[in-house]
C-alpha cells in the first residue's frame, strides 16, 4: 500500500485541556481536523515509531470513524503494532491497564468522558503516555505547538479495517490486534479484590444492588464482571448497552443525571447499594439506601479501609493525593494514619508523577473520580468493586460505614455548584476581578466568617519541579471552611464556572444535619463575593452536587 501525504493547514484552538481535546462532533468531522491533531501526536512522540500503540474509546458518535482514521495514519507513520478494543471500544482505565501490561509506548483515548454524545454533541481525543496515564503538560504543549504549524499529514489508502472480530491482521507493515476489551482489565481486578467474598454478598437473598452504566462503555465491563463473573442477578446492570448518543442521556454519574438510579435507592424498599459510571468508565457515584456518598468521603473511606482489601493488605500505603478542590476529608485520614498527603491541581495527569515515584497509593478528585496505583487513570468500576468488597467484609450498610467514619475522623460537609454554558468573556472577567481582590480579603468579616487566606493556587510538582499556575482561586476562613472558584476545562460550549464549598464538623451530634442547610451561609458568601448573579446573569447553578 502506498503512503499518501495530504496537504493541510493549522486549525485554531487545538490546545488540549485537562482531559485532551474536546469539541463538537461537527468540528471533528471537518476535513483534516482530527488528522491534524493525530499527526501532531505522531510528529512529537517519536517512541511510537516502531512501537506499540493502544487505541479505543467509549463508543460515542464518531468513535468508529475516528478509529479507522487513526489506524491508517498509525501505519503510515511507522507504528509497529496497534492494540484495539473490539468494536473500537475500551474504557479509559482499561486502556491504561493495556498500555502498562503490554509495555506500549502510548495510547489514544477517544472520548469526551461525561459530556453528551451524538451528531450534535461532543467528541474528544487524548494521548496517554507510556505509563498509561494522561500525558504530562510538556507533552500536550508540544502536541499543541505542532498543531499550530502543521502543513501535512500521512495516511494510507485502504479499505476499512474489521474492528468487530477478535484476532490479528496486518495493515501494510503494521500489526493490528483486535482484543476483547474486558479480559485484561477483569484479570487485574481479580488480583486486587476478593471475588469469592463479593460473590457471596451479591448472591445472598438479603442484598440488592443496581449499577447504572448510563448506556456508556462501562456496561460492557459491569455486565461481564458483576453479573457473569460475580453472580449478581441478571438486570443488576441497567442501561447496559453502549449507544452512540448514550440513549439521549447525559453520561455524568451525579445526583441529577443519574436520577433514575437515585430513585431506586429511596424509601423502605430501596436497594442496599447502587453505583453509576460515566461515558468512558473513569468516574463513579456511590449510593446506599437513602444515602449519597460524596466522592471526597469515598476517597477518605477507601484510604482508611485499604487494610481490609486483599490487593492492598500486603503493601505499604505510600500516601494519598487529592485535587485542590476536593474536600480535606482524606487529609484527616492521612494525618491520623501517618501517611503523606498531596494537594494537586485538577487533572489526573498531576497524580501520575506521584504514582510513578511510589509516593502515593490512592488518589481522587471531587468530580467523581477515584483511583489507585493499579493503573494511571481514575477508575469507576474499580471504586465500585472496592466498595462491594468493603461491604462484604464489614457486613454493614453504606450509611453505617460512612457515619462511623465521620465519628472517627469528623465530617467535611461539601457541595459543588456548576454554572454551565456561561458566556466565556463574562466568566473570565468574574475570575480576573476576584483575582485582583484576593489581597484585600484576609481579615475581612463575611456573615460571621473571617477570611484567613485568599490566593490563586499554584503547584510545584515534588517529582520533576514543574510549576502550574492559576489552578483555582481559594478563599479560606478561620474556622476551616473554604470556597474555591475554577473555570472547568472539560466543556465544549461557553464556560463552566465551578464553585466548591466545604466546612468541617467534628461533633458527632451535629454530623447528621442536611448539607444544604449547613452550607447555606457559605453559598450566600460565595455568590456575594464573586458577584455571580451580576456578572453572569445566573440566579442559580445549573447542577448542584
Q: Which residues are catalytic?
A: 113
Which class for 29: exposed (0-12), middle (13-18), buried (19 or more C-beta within 10 A)? middle
Tell me how far CA of residue 373 lies from CA of 158, 194, 353, 382, in angstroms. Answer: 40, 18, 11, 11
Q: Which cell numbers in the block locate residue 474?
A: 481559594
> DSSP of 466-492, one letter per residue?
-EE----EEEEETTS-EEEEEE-SS-S
Q: Name residue 106's beta-bridge partners.
A: 53
Length of the chain: 545
Report the alpha-carbon distance of residue 531 to residue 486 in Å, rounded.
14
E runs forming strands in 10-116:
21-24, 52-57, 81-89, 106-110
CB 491 within 8 A of CB 517: no
Report the alpha-carbon distance of residue 367 to residue 500 in Å, rounded.
11
Q: Which cell numbers in the block locate residue 194?
A: 476478593
Other C-beta atoms within 10 Å of 515: how many? Answer: 16
Report the alpha-carbon distance of residue 11 to residue 70 in Å, rounded.
18
Give, in degrees to the nearest 5, the angle at Cα 106 between 104 and 111: 125
3-class DSSP state of 136: coil
**427-445: burial string, b at 16+ Cβ within 10 Å, e else:** beebbeebeeebeebeeee
In 5-62, alpha helices (H): 25-28, 33-44
Which class for 101: exposed (0-12), middle (13-18), buried (19 or more C-beta within 10 A)? middle
CB 237 within 8 A of CB 227: yes
CB 3 within 8 A of CB 154: yes
Report the alpha-carbon distance of residue 515 to residue 519 in Å, rounded.
6
Amino acid at each position: 500500500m502506498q503512503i499518501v501525504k495530504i496537504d493541510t493547514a493549522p486549525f485554531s484552538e487545538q490546545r488540549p485541556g485537562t482531559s485532551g481535546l474536546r469539541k463538537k462532533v461537527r468540528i471533528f468531522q471537518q476535513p483534516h481536523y482530527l488528522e491534524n491533531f493525530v499527526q501532531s501526536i505522531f510528529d512529537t512522540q517519536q517512541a511510537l515509531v516502531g512501537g506499540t500503540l493502544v487505541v479505543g474509546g467509549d463508543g460515542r458518535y464518531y468513535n468508529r470513524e475516528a478509529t479507522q482514521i487513526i489506524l491508517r495514519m498509525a501505519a503510515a507513520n511507522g507504528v509497529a503494532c496497534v492494540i484495539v478494543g473490539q468494536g473500537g471500544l475500551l474504557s479509559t482505565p482499561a486502556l491504561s491497564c493495556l498500555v502498562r501490561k503490554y509495555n506500549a509506548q502510548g495510547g489514544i483515548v477517544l472520548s469526551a468522558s461525561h459530556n453528551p454524545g451524538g451528531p450534535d454533541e461532543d467528541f474528544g481525543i487524548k494521548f496517554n503516555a507510556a505509563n498509561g496515564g494522561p500525558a504530562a503538560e510538556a507533552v500536550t504543549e508540544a502536541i499543541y505547538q505542532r498543531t499550530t504549524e502543521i502543513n501535512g499529514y500521512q495516511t494510507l489508502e485502504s479499505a476499512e479495517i474489521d474492528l468487530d472480530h477478535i484476532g490479528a491482521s496486518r495493515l501494510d507493515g503494521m500489526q493490528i490486534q483486535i482484543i476483547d476489551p474486558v479480559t485484561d482489565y477483569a484479570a487485574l481486578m481479580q488480583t486486587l479484590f476478593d471475588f469469592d467474598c463479593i460473590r457471596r454478598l451479591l448472591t445472598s437473598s438479603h442484598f440488592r444492588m443496581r449499577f447504572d452504566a448510563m448506556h456508556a462503555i462501562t456496561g460492557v465491563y459491569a455486565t461481564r464482571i458483576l453479573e457473569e463473573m460475580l453472580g449478581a442477578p441478571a438486570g443488576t446492570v441497567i442501561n447496559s448497552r453502549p449507544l452512540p448518543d448514550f440513549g439521549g442521556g447525559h453520561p455524568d454519574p451525579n445526583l441529577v443525571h443519574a436520577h433514575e438510579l437515585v430513585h431506586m435507592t429511596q424509601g423502605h424498599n430501596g436497594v442496599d447499594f447502587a453505583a453509576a459510571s460515566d461515558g468512558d468508565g473513569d468516574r463513579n457515584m456511590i449510593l446506599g439506601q437513602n444515602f449519597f456518598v460524596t466522592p471526597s468521603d469515598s476517597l477518605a473511606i477507601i484510604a482508611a479501609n485499604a487494610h481490609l482489601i486483599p490487593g492492598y493488605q500486603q503493601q505499604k500505603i505510600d500516601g494519598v493525593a487529592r485535587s485542590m478542590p476536593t474536600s480535606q476529608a482524606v487529609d484527616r485520614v492521612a494525618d491520623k494514619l501517618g501517611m503523606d498527603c498531596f494537594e494537586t491541581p485538577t487533572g489526573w495527569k498531576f497524580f501520575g508523577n506521584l504514582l510513578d515515584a511510589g509516593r502515593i497509593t490512592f488518589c481522587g478528585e471531587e468530580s467523581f473520580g477515584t483511583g489507585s496505583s493499579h493503573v494511571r487513570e481514575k477508575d469507576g468500576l474499580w471504586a465500585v468493586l472496592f466498595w462491594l468488597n468493603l461491604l462484604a467484609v464489614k457486613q454493614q450498610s453504606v450509611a453505617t460505614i460512612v457515619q462511623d467514619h465521620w465519628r472517627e475522623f469528623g465530617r467535611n460537609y461539601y457541595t459543588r455548584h456548576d454554572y454551565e454554558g456561561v458566556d466565556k468573556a463574562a466568566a473570565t472577567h468574574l475570575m480576573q476581578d476576584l483575582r485582583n481582590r484576593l489581597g484585600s480579603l484576609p481579615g475581612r468579616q463575611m456573615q460571621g466568617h473571617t477570611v484567613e487566606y485568599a490566593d490563586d493556587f499554584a503547584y510545584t510538582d515534588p517529582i520533576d519541579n514543574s510549576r502550574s499556575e492559576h489552578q483555582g482561586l481559594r478563599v479560606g476562613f478561620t474556622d476551616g471552611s473554604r470556597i474555591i472558584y475554577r473555570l472547568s476545562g472539560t466543556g465544549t460550549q461557553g464556560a463552566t464556572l465551578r464553585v466548591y464549598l466545604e466546612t468541617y464538623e467534628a461533633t458527632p451530634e451535629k454530623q447528621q444535619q442536611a448539607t444544604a442547610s449547613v452550607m447555606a451561609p457559605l453559598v450566600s458568601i460565595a455568590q456575594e463575593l464573586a458577584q455571580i448573579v451580576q456578572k453572569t446573569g445566573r440566579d442559580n447553578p445549573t447542577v448542584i452536587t
